[in-house]
Amino acid sequence: MSAVIKTLTPFIEQDILLEALNSLNVEYHVNNGLIITNRVDYQGHQQFQFTNGKYHLIHDSDEFGGRLSRNTLNNDYQPIKQFLSKLEGAYKSVYQKKMERIAETERIRMEEAKKKYVQATKEKAIAQAKTQGYSIKESEVNGKIKLVLTRMGH
């Protein structure tokens, strides 16, 4: 007997998958690229294997035939379909948070770059003004830098 489970979201990134497993209180350890979970079925520990660019859950398909090992028949065990559905939701949530963190990091980087640019622009203008014989008064107006350059005409 064989079974195919399809999830809507491919589990591509290990760190996101591990965090998603954490959020579902699934224990695991990583060994040679395999993420071996504490979920046990007839064939032993269920594990995620990275193939063709994403993680696949390797498990005993007989679960669907009702021939689970006695050890898995407890209240904590969720059937594969239910487990993957919850994992998918958790993965999406972690992924979204990661994207937000990246966006925030990028926003901060761009803000810093902008500040540096403004500072450099100001310093360049002041340096040029000095060489042109201007006296300089600096102030801030509505968040803008105001430079008043004054000299006597030639």
Partner 1 sequence: MAEEKVILLIDEDGTISAKTIGFKGETCFDALDELLGLQSLTSVKKTDEYLQRVDTKSSIKMTTKRN
CB atoms within 10 A of CB 94: 20
Q: Which range touches partner 1 (CB under 8 A), out of 8-16, 23-31, 50-58, 138-146?
A: 138-146
Cα–Cα separations (whole angstroms), residue 74 to 21, 47, 57, 69, 84:
19, 19, 20, 10, 18
Work out whether 109 is an interface residue with partner 1 (CB under 8 A): no
- Binding of partner 1 by 122 (CB under 8 A): yes
Q: Is 107 in the site for partner 1 (CB under 8 A)?
A: no
CA distance 80 to 57: 9
- One-letter amino acid of 40: V
Q: Which stretch binds partner 1 (CB under 8 A): 7-15, 16-24, 26-34, 113-121?
A: 113-121
Q: Tell me the window of 5-13, 15-23, 74-82, 124-132 that interacts with partner 1 (CB under 8 A).
A: 124-132
Tell me if 70 contacts partner 1 by CB under 8 A: no
Interface with partner 1: number of residues (CB under 8 A): 23
- Residue 101 binds partner 1 (CB under 8 A): no
- What's CA 137's distance to the chain center, in Å? 46
Q: Which pair of structure tokens corresponds to residue 135?
A: 């006296």
